[in-house]
Structure 1
Amino acid sequence: MIKKLLLICSFSLLLVSQGFGQLLVDEQDSKPLPEGVNLSSPYHTTLSFFFNLDPKNFKPNRAARTLDRRGVIGDPEELAVKLQQVLEGKGIIIRTSEIPNEPNYVDSASNAEHKYYFDKKRLPAIYLEKQGSQWKFSSFSVSQIAQLHSETYPLGTDKLLNLLPKMGTEQYLGLQLWQILGILILILMTFLAHLVFTFLVDRVLLYLMSRLGYGDIGKNYLLPIAKITSFYLIVLLLSLLIRVLHLPVEIWAWIVVVFNTLKPFLIMVIFYKIVDVIAAYFASLAAKTASTLDDQLVPLLRKTLKALVIIVGTLFILRDGLDLDIIPFLTGLSIGGVAIALAAQDTIKNFFGSIMIFIDKPFQVGDWVTSGEIDGTVEEVGFRSTRIRTFRNSLMYVPNGKIADAVVDNHGLRQYRRFTTTLTITYDTPPALIDQFVIGLREIIKTHPKTRKDLYHVYFNNLSSYSQDVMFYIFFEVPNIQEELQSRHEILIQIVKLAHTLGIRFAFPTQTLHMETFPEKKGLGQEQLDSQVYENLLQKFFKMELGKKVE
């Protein structure tokens, strides 16, 4: 028994020190290995396989006896070596303490079959299977060795497996000479690759973009993406080459985790940067439209896409890098999502309300809207609420779900803006002067550049208790309230000037005592003049104010 234990311990120390076989052996009782091969249990078959492929005791013909080669064409010794290289390249750690030493072992997860998987998650095609009284690598596993080997060592890197060890097998610091030289070569290749990618990105890419007239786009958007892409290509190249060094299992297992984490992380960063390019493109399209609602949609779209990229990227990092099963997490997330949805019905309603606002576009930023108690100018449209600045200068946050269900009067979408008022003139104004006043009002409308010329109403239409009333009803063709107010100002100024020129007095509620026969005093009644005089006064007004003659 002592001899057996010494044999196992010496074999274990040999494997750990060399880093071959990816095998960690614990002290267990085992039967003697006849001719170096024992197939009585998964434990003994695994031990026989790696023991006979150890460089100090290299007997691939014996290791090939652990393979079930029924129906498989190929050199059995070459298949055994390739299987070992696949396990090493994948970073599969095989701990003998976890391998069953039972001749009748049954895998409860595989329909109670006599099978043993080394790593069912990362390498489900490789497993031991009992044939009669012997445990061997299954015929299916043997048939997959060539394909797995080409996947593990693509692009001809498998040729380095036989070339590099010829550089020397002397040991320094726990590594063989060819492994140390391989690490130095990889460092040099990484430095050179970084220089090449930097030159291609910083010089060639920016030069081509500048020649095409997109220098700013290349510098601000494409250059960051290209740099991250170059880092990803370097990591991908290193992950392909470093596996041929067959580093010790403890080191290589951590290196695999690092590379498997870096690759999805860098891809996530690349897509995160691409979102900025997409957002910039849509921003340029939104700038060409008259609607300002598109300008609000672009930042929301950018934030949503970036959040989606981060969520999906994190899931891939957890799955590929940290080797976690994300299916239960997604299942729990979906169940939790239903509960959250039920608890946050108003939030979801507001979210879909914002979608309807962006689709239907009932208003845009800057529009004056009215809906019930809502009355103000739209400042911002978000995914949950809309900000409206009231005319009291207060800020109103209105849930989008409420706006989507409400009747909204959008004053900002008016093509014409109505302006109506009543011009009250005193009762002593003669009819001929009223006629000329009305003609002058109509001419003011015709000459103003922002009034609607095909629809307006200016008539002497009422006799009120204290005035003669002239209806003034027009439309302005202006895009916003500022220009409307400016146009009103201009029209009213022209009306006042016309009244002063013609001698029109505007009436207001008063009580007037008429002294028609007061000695040496004229009456308060307006002097009746000939209609030609009023017409001449009107022509004088337009000649001075508007520079044209009224027919």
Structure 2
Amino acid sequence: MDTLETLLRETFLGISLGRFAAAFAILILSLVLKRVFSHFYDRVVAPLAQKTSNRYDDQFLQGVKNPAGFMVVIAGLFVAVQVLHLPSEPMDLHRFAGAVLKVLVTFDVAWFLLNMVALLEAYLAQWVTRTESTLDDHLLPFIRKSLRVFIVFLAFIMTVQNLGYSISGLLASLGIGGLAVALAAKDTLSNIFGSIMIILDRPFHIGDWIKAGEMEGVVEEVGFRSTKIRTFSKTLISVPNNVIANTEINNFSRMPKRRIKMTVGVTYESSPAQMRRAVDDIRAMLKEHPAIHQEFMLVNFTDFGPSSLDILVYCFTTTTVWGEYLEARQDVCLRIMDIIDGLGMEIAFPSRSIYLRGGEQEELPAASGAKA
């Protein structure tokens, strides 16, 4: 027994072997506690999370498990260092051990944050599957890689600082280099931010008929850098996303209904009774038409034109599809022609009538159709 006590009093680097033995025992205990924590997680915590319908809590706890277990070991190392009472002369071992512990904590926190990036990616991946655009599919890997690079860079900076090195010079050089890269990649960065704005604002989807400035057509693809628009002449326009994000966009596909606006001109030979009957019949026809929206419509005799009596027809179709809209507009026009013809009236067009008086001819503006 005395031999053991004498052995424990022996010193190495100014530290007794008894303190080394205590520190080693603490490390072994921390490893045992880590195994206990893992066992508790696998048998108790994980089954509780699996009972919920939400799969994100399972992934969150899985991301916490390993960093938390490693933190138990770091705590054991911290207690062991305190027990050892490391000397500061001739080498400052206590400060060095503290710096190593800070580096390990930084590594553990970065490990946890990287696991949370994976959780965020899983959540965003489910969100982007609900959209028609392929832009967010391209943007998701970029967000994941950017976050991971940022976390690793931040962990590196903190590690350098914890080891006692100055990071001001490094940050200054990185600032100059970053400024040069930013200037060189200005257009690329503006397209990236334009893509993000399109994702957040969603002014259009694939297949929408839009007009952006002088560009008009159907959106065919929304990419990470540009948006492709198929014009009605079948050419393909690739527009940078930063241009799209800063341009007024008219989305015709978002119209709940399409407008029909026309002026029907009849000849001046039409009587007031015929005009009243024509207005009433056109209005009744629109009210019975299956393709016309019944919420709002106008049919009125509005003007005495230069060559016609003008009837305003203003209504909306129930469909917004371009082809179906044209079919509905055509049917409305034909039915109006039938009404005008049935009432013995004529569609007017610009013309002139020539009247002869006393051997002289006088040309006057016409007030009727093709009569002379």
Higher relative contact order (CA 8 A, sep 6+): 2
Give me the whole-angstrom Cα distance separating, in 1, the residues matched to 2:149 and 2:294: 50
**Alpha carbons of structure 1 residues 474 and 313: separation in structure 2 relative to 1, 3 Å:** farther
Give me the whole-angstrom Cα distance separating, in 2, the residues matched to 1:456 and 1:280: 54
Q: Match of 2:354?
A: none
Question: In the TM superposition, what is the alpha-carbon distance from 1:344 to its structure 2 partner?
Answer: 3.9
**Alpha carbons of structure 1 residues 418 and 279: separation in structure 2 relative to 1, 3 Å:** farther
Question: In the TM superposition, what is the alpha-carbon distance from 1:218 to its structure 2 partner?
Answer: 1.8
Give me the whole-angstrom Cα distance separating, in 1, the residues matched to 2:123 and 2:299: 48
Give me the whole-angstrom Cα distance separating, in 2, the residues matched to 1:196 and 1:371: 59
Give me the whole-angstrom Cα distance separating, in 1, the residues matched to 2:118 and 2:300: 56
Q: Match of 2:357?
A: none
Question: In the TM superposition, what is the alpha-carbon distance from 1:332 to its structure 2 partner?
Answer: 0.5
Contact map agreement 2:204 2:251 (CA 8 A) in 1? no
Question: In the TM superposition, what is the alpha-carbon distance from 1:190 to its structure 2 partner?
Answer: 1.7
Question: In the TM superposition, what is the alpha-carbon distance from 1:440 to its structure 2 partner?
Answer: 6.0
Structure 2 residue 69 is the aligned partner of structure 1 residue 231: yes
**Alpha carbons of structure 1 residues 341 and 292: separation in structure 2 relative to 1, 3 Å:** closer
> What is the TM-score when the length of structure 1 is the normalising length?
0.42
Give me the whole-angstrom Cα distance separating, in 2, the residues matched to 1:281 and 1:54: 52
Deviations 1:374-398 (A, max 9, x none): 333444364xx34233146776442
Question: In the TM superposition, what is the alpha-carbon distance from 1:268 to its structure 2 partner?
Answer: 1.5
Contact map agreement 2:217 2:230 (CA 8 A) in 1? yes
Q: Partner of 1:222: helix, strand, or coil?
A: helix
Give me the whole-angstrom Cα distance separating, in 2, the residues matched to 1:265 and 1:292: 37
Q: Match of 1:488?
A: 325
Contact map agreement 2:191 2:241 (CA 8 A) in 1? yes
Contact map agreement 1:376 1:389 (CA 8 A) in 2? yes
Question: In the TM superposition, what is the alpha-carbon distance from 1:273 to its structure 2 partner?
Answer: 2.8
Higher Cα radius of gyration: 1
Structure 2 residue 205 is the aligned partner of structure 1 residue 365: yes
Number of residues of Structure 1 aligned to a counterpart in Structure 2: 313
**Alpha carbons of structure 1 residues 54 and 315: separation in structure 2 relative to 1, 3 Å:** closer
Question: In the TM superposition, what is the alpha-carbon distance from 1:442 to its structure 2 partner?
Answer: 0.3
Deviations 1:55-111 (A, max 9, x none): 6xxxxxxxxxxxxxxxxxxxxxxxxxxxxxxxxxxxxxxxxxxxxxxxxxxxxxxxx
Letter matched to residue 375 of structure 1: E
Contact map agreement 2:279 2:300 (CA 8 A) in 1? no
Q: Partner of 2:67: helix, strand, or coil?
A: helix
Give me the whole-angstrom Cα distance separating, in 1, the residues matched to 2:145 and 2:317: 40
Q: Match of 1:455?
A: 297
Superposition pairs for residues 64-213 of structure 1, below 5 Å?
Answer: 165=21, 182=24, 186-187=27-28, 189-200=30-41, 202-209=42-49, 213=52
Contact map agreement 2:114 2:148 (CA 8 A) in 1? yes
CA root-mean-square deviation: 5.7
**Alpha carbons of structure 1 residues 402 and 484: separation in structure 2 relative to 1, 3 Å:** same
Q: Match of 1:428?
A: none
**Alpha carbons of structure 1 residues 310 and 458: separation in structure 2 relative to 1, 3 Å:** farther
Segments of 5+ residues of structure 2 without an aligned counterpart are: 1-9, 266-273, 343-372
Letter matched to residue 71 of structure 2: L
Question: In the TM superposition, what is the alpha-carbon distance from 1:490 to its structure 2 partner?
Answer: 7.3
Give me the whole-angstrom Cα distance separating, in 2, the residues matched to 1:239 and 1:452: 79
Contact map agreement 1:319 1:325 (CA 8 A) in 2? yes
Give me the whole-angstrom Cα distance separating, in 2, the residues matched to 1:272 and 1:339: 28
Q: Match of 1:374?
A: 215
Contact map agreement 2:260 2:329 (CA 8 A) in 1? no
Question: In the TM superposition, what is the alpha-carbon distance from 1:331 to its structure 2 partner?
Answer: 1.1
**Alpha carbons of structure 1 residues 397 and 195: separation in structure 2 relative to 1, 3 Å:** farther
Segments of 5+ residues of structure 1 without an aligned counterpart are: 1-17, 22-52, 56-160, 166-177, 425-430, 464-468, 506-551
Q: Match of 1:20?
A: 12
Give me the whole-angstrom Cα distance separating, in 1, the residues matched to 2:236 and 2:40: 52
Q: Partner of 2:12: helix, strand, or coil?
A: coil
Question: In the TM superposition, what is the alpha-carbon distance from 1:197 to its structure 2 partner?
Answer: 2.8
Q: Partner of 1:375: helix, strand, or coil?
A: strand
> What is the TM-score when the length of structure 2 is the normalising length?
0.57
Superposition pairs for residues 284-323 of structure 1, below 5 Å?
Answer: 299=140, 304-320=146-162
The alignment-based identity, stated in percent, is 23
